[in-house]
Amino acid sequence: MLYSVGLQRLDQERYPEAIQFFQEVERQHPYSAWSRRAILMQVYAYYQRQNYEDAIAAADRYIDLYPGSPQVSYAFYMKAICFFEQIVDVGRDQASAGHALNALTEVVQRFPGTSYATDARVKIDMVNDQLAGKEMEIGRWYLRRNQPLAAAGRFRRVVDQYQTTSHTPEALYRLVETYLTLGLTEEAERNAAVLGYNFPGSRWYTDAYRLVTNQGGQLEQEPQEEGWLQRLIPG
């Protein structure tokens, strides 16, 4: 049987041959249960070959043809993973990161409580950290070129949109640094206070405290509140 031969080739990691057999199953038995399985196997085989574009196309074909299938969650998940695998280093274009974030979020929203959603949440955090890193890189670039206003916009985005990532302490510090450069002392002090409340032992707060006090500013102890996410919401 064609499908069985395709599985054998898949097990043998002979992915191009496996894809050919699965495509033949789809051609000879359209809209059958075997055809549905064959499309999903194509997704997997393309993914194993790192042919992400064809894997995504096959996943989309399955989603379009069988939106009510119990296995459609796998198609959505594999599509998201294909985007995720294409995320490159922070110094390059982050289009794949944006696509991955959208696709992973869709998995979580459509299939909550599944193992796919659990893994997607972990990867969403990783993607957000990647996107925040890109914003930080651009912000630092603006700072080096004496464009503090443009830099502040990038650092503010990290604090507002990616506040749970590892880049938040530096982003707050850079806002302190940038606002002082712009002569916005109150804004600098406010961000330094937020930094001190949420990351009191970090080197970023130590540096921010030094910057503010050297400018004649003061930092008072913030009142105790539960959760630091609320502290980052502009008031």
Domain ranges of the chain: 131-235
Banded pLDDT at 112 (limits 50, 70, 90): very high
Name every residue whose Cβ is closer than 8 Å to that of residue 148 and which is 6 or more positions away in sequence. Answer: 142, 178, 181, 182
Amino acid found at 167: H
pLDDT range class, residue 77, cuts 50, 70, 90 = very high
User: What are the pLDDT digits (tens) for 143-200?
Assistant: 999 999 999 999 999 999 998 999 999 999 999 999 999 999 999 999 999 998 888 8
93 or 234, which is more confident? 93
Rounded to the nearest integer, the mean pLDDT of the chain is 88
pLDDT of residue 217: 65
Return the pLDDT at 91.
57
Task: Answer whether residue 114 shows pLDDT above 90.
Answer: yes
Predicted pLDDT at 220? 58
Provide the H-helix boundaries in 29-145: 33-48, 52-65, 72-85, 95-110, 115-144
Closest-CA residue to 125 (of 108, 102, 106, 101): 101
Q: Which of 53-57, 112-116, 199-203 has the lowest mean pLDDT?
A: 199-203
List, for residues 44-69, the tens digit of each pLDDT value: 999 999 999 999 999 999 999 999 99
How many angstroms separate the first and last alpha carbons of the chain?
A: 66
Identify which of 156, 159, 162 has the alpha carbon closest to the alpha carbon of residue 127. 162
What are the φ/ψ torsions at residue 98 (nearest 5 degrees)? -65, -45
**Quick one: average pLDDT of 19-43?**
93
Is residue 71 predicted with pLDDT exceeding 50? yes
CATH architecture of 131-235: Alpha Horseshoe (1.25)
Nearest CA to 34 among 78, 11, 1, 75? 1
